[in-house]
Amino acid sequence: MANPIYTRRRVTNQVIMALAWAAAISGIIILALILSTLFVKGFAGLSLTLFTQSTPAAGENGGLLNAIVGSVIMTVLGTLIGTPIGILAGTYMAEFGRATKLTFAVRFINDILLSAPSILIGLFVYDVMVTRMHHASAWAGSVALAMLVVPVVVRTTENMLLLVPDSLREASSALGSPRWIVIMKVAYRAARAGMLTGVLLAVARITGETAPLLFTASGNQFMSTDMNAPMASLPVVIFNFANSAYADWRQLAWTAALLITLTVLTLNIGARTLSTPRSKES
Amino acid sequence: MNSNAQVATYSPAAAIPPAALRRHNLWDAVFRGATRAASVLVLLLLGAVIAALIHGSVPSFKAFGFGFLTSETWNPVTEKFGALPAIYGTVVTSVLAMLIGIPVSLGIAIFITELCPRWLKRPISTAIELLAGVPSIIYGIWGLFVLAPFLQKHVQPLVISLFAGVPGLSSLFAGPPYGIGTFTAGIILSVMVLPYITSVTRDVFETVPAVLKESAYGLGCTTWEVVRHVMLPYTRVGVIGGVMLGLGRALGETMAVTFVIGNAHKIASSILAPGTTISATIANEFAEAEGDLYTSALIELGLILFVITFLVLAAARLLLLRAEMKGR
């Protein structure tokens, strides 16, 4: 039985399959390592003052209130601006212009926007808004985030609407519904869960985005809800504090990192559970 | 026959008042117009980004011309700028990320499609996708405080002594072990591109018809031979598309790299030394940049990054589109 060819083939196979196992296990280990570090270092800084005080000056005590408020405001606004545009564009691609040149062009460009470096979006908004207003502002930050929401929502909206069977649309049309009612009351309703997943994924994405905020919303050491002024955000606080010489600033950076990661992972898992029943049906 | 007369009176055209029909037509037109406008807006967004980048880099281009691409100087004080160290760092970190990321991603994809017990499939896929969801700044802070010290203490001294006597490699892995630097940035990037390549590869692996695999297994092929000679040739275009997608991410990745690369504007022969990338330079210096020429040079760096990533991403999408056509 000791045919050398068989032995060689068997050994090669075993080695490579062992490597595949190792690759999968190392992937899990890395995720576990990142999460465990975050929990250990981040939990140490969790306290009530975190949510009641703004980021401190050097050597003082403080929290993350201004950054949390800023992140929430800009994320919500970014989502509110970006989502309608994304849903409308996705609707055009799936409902009105299914095989038109415009749809192909938008799909291609949208896929590129989806993976384009987000720092370039920051440069663009800086050029268009910040230089004209002569200072960073929360509006500029929100617009930069909205530009990251659009491609995610366009993509999921189009894909989810395309999954809705045409027979549903035909049945509705046959009952005499005009096109906009067919889309609003039949197509959207059938694709609702999937479209919501897309929005959640978009929110998850912009929650952790730092690069586009660095020079659009910039940062603000104090609590501010003025949309025309610079505004603090959790990711920018992490960026500014992580490298600092003060231990309590670094601690705040870790805690901010924990808050962001928990939010993002919750949104991701929420989006996943929403879309699961769908994928099982199909 | 009474029923005929009744059908006539209840016909839809007669039942709907003309005003309602007109209103519905109007709504249809408005809705259609709005959706179309939104699609055009998406196209315009990308166009506007390109226009803004070109517009912003004019002063720098006027001052340095094409020498910007080949100059190694980066001196804000004398206002002399060159992009070569940043371009070099971007390319080297991305190549490193691909060298490590591609085999590991393929391994995980093979594991998920061929080896994994059914109950484990979902948890593993979910874990890999969560890895994609972790924001890049989290990789940055983790890389700076956990990975870099670990590499500095345990991995880099080993690598340095290992290659010390080998010509060529000895200068590539020359000491001292800084911890932060091009090498560390490449490793962080390889972790970050892993989920993207894995998920595309897994998806295209799933499109291989079971009959093809079963025939190969029936002929006595080992799992590796099925992967190597049946699945990879069948899915080649899609796998390359996935790799290009990962490469596009690696080239443009900003925050994680900014934390661990060390931001040094020079081309070191050793990959263990600190360096910089295009995106890290912009992230680190743009907010503090004084003077129009400095700002413009940074925007021109952004334009170069845009051109590189656009080409890579466009190639990725075209390849994936071809793979999709084949999958149908």
| pLDDT class of B327 with cuts at 50, 70, 90 | low
| pLDDT class of B14 with cuts at 50, 70, 90 | low
Is A127–B225 a contact, with Cβ atoms under 8 angstroms apart? no
Q: Which of A218, A260, A269 sits opposite B138 (nearest CB)?
A: A260
- How far does the CA of residue B269 sit from the closest CA of chain A (Å)? 27
Is B48–A31 a contact, with Cβ atoms under 8 angstroms apart? no
Degrees to nearest 5, angle at CA A254 with A250 and A258 = 165
Distance between CA atoms of residues B268 and B109, nearest Å: 35
Is B52–A128 a contact, with Cβ atoms under 8 angstroms apart? yes
Question: Above pLDDT 70, what percent of chain B?
Answer: 94
- Chain B segment 62-101 residues within 8 A of A by beta carbon are none
User: Facing residues of A148 across strands?
Assistant: none
Query: Strand (E) positions, chain A?
Result: none
- ipTM comes to 0.88
In this structure, the number of other CB atoms found within 10 A of the CB of residue A177 comes to 17
Q: Which tens digits make up the pLDDT trace of B204-237?
A: 998 899 999 999 999 999 999 999 999 999 998 8
* Contacting residues of A for B139, CB less than 8 Å apart: 34
What Cα–Cα distance (Å) separates residue A204 from each residue in A73, A78, A140, A262, B161? Answer: 14, 12, 19, 10, 44
> Mind giving me the DSSP string for B220-252?
T--HHHHIIIIIHHHHHHHHHHHHHHHHHHHHH
Residue A99 has what DSSP assignment?
Answer: T
Task: Assess contact for A90 and A155: CB atoms under 8 A.
Answer: yes
Q: Which of B106, B222, B255 sits opposite A13 (nearest CB)?
A: B222
pLDDT at position B5: 45
Distance between CA atoms of residues B212 and B137, nearest Å: 43
- How far does the CA of residue B230 sit from the closest CA of chain A (Å)? 15
pLDDT at position B7: 46
Q: Which residues contact B111 (CB under 8 A, 6 or more apart)?
A: A20, A21, A23, A24, B124
pLDDT at position B44: 94
Q: 3-class DSSP state for residue B80?
A: strand
Q: 3-class DSSP state for residue B254?
A: coil
Is B42–A116 a contact, with Cβ atoms under 8 angstroms apart? no
Q: Which tens digits make up the pLDDT trace of B305-319?
A: 999 999 999 998 888
> Closest residue of A to B55, CA-based?
A127
pLDDT at position B12: 55
Q: Which tens digits make up the pLDDT trace of A200-213?
A: 999 999 998 999 99
Lowest model confidence (mean pLDDT) among A182-186, A252-256, B108-112, B129-133: B129-133
Q: Say if residue B158's pLDDT is above 90.
A: no
Q: Which residues contact A193 (CB under 8 A, 6 or more apart)?
A: A274, A275, A277, A278
Q: 3-class DSSP state for residue B173?
A: coil
Q: Which residues contact A184 (CB under 8 A, 6 or more apart)?
A: none
pLDDT at position A277: 56
pLDDT mean over B113-118 = 89
Least Cα distance to A191 among A237, A142, A156 occurs for: A156
A181 Cβ under 8 Å from any chain B Cβ: yes
- How far does the CA of residue A211 sit from the closest CA of chain B (Å)? 7
What is the dihedral sign for C-alpha B214, B217, B223, B226? negative
Rg over alpha carbons for chain B, rounded to the nearest Å, is: 27
Is A112–B27 a contact, with Cβ atoms under 8 angstroms apart? no
| pLDDT class of B125 with cuts at 50, 70, 90 | confident
Task: Assess contact for A87 and A195: CB atoms under 8 A.
Answer: yes
* Contacting residues of A for B136, CB less than 8 Å apart: 208, 210-211
Lowest model confidence (mean pLDDT) among A250-264, B1-15, B74-88, B238-252: B1-15
Q: How much is the pTM?
A: 0.89
B16 vs B214 pLDDT, higher one: B214
Q: Which of the residues in chain A have pLDDT under 50? A: 278-282
Least Cα distance to B286 among A43, A261, A126 occurs for: A126
Q: 3-class DSSP state for residue B81?
A: strand
Q: To 10 degrees, the CA torsion angle through A23, A27, A28, A30?
A: 130
* Contacting residues of B for A269, CB less than 8 Å apart: 130
Q: Which of B106, B223, B302 sits opposite A17 (nearest CB)?
A: B223
Amino acid found at B158: L
Mean pLDDT over the full length of chain B: 88
Q: Which long-range contacts (CB under 8 A, 24 or more apart) does B157-166 make?
A: B159/B272, B160/B272
B319 vs B166 pLDDT, higher one: B319
Lowest model confidence (mean pLDDT) among B123-127, B149-153, B211-215: B123-127
* Contacting residues of B for A23, CB less than 8 Å apart: 103-108, 111
pLDDT at position B328: 57
- Chain A segment 99-138 residues within 8 A of B by beta carbon are 102-103, 105-106, 108-113, 115-121, 123-124, 126-128
> Closest residue of A to B105, CA-based?
A23
Q: Say if residue B33's pLDDT is above 70.
A: yes
Distance between CA atoms of residues B7 and A259, nearest Å: 65
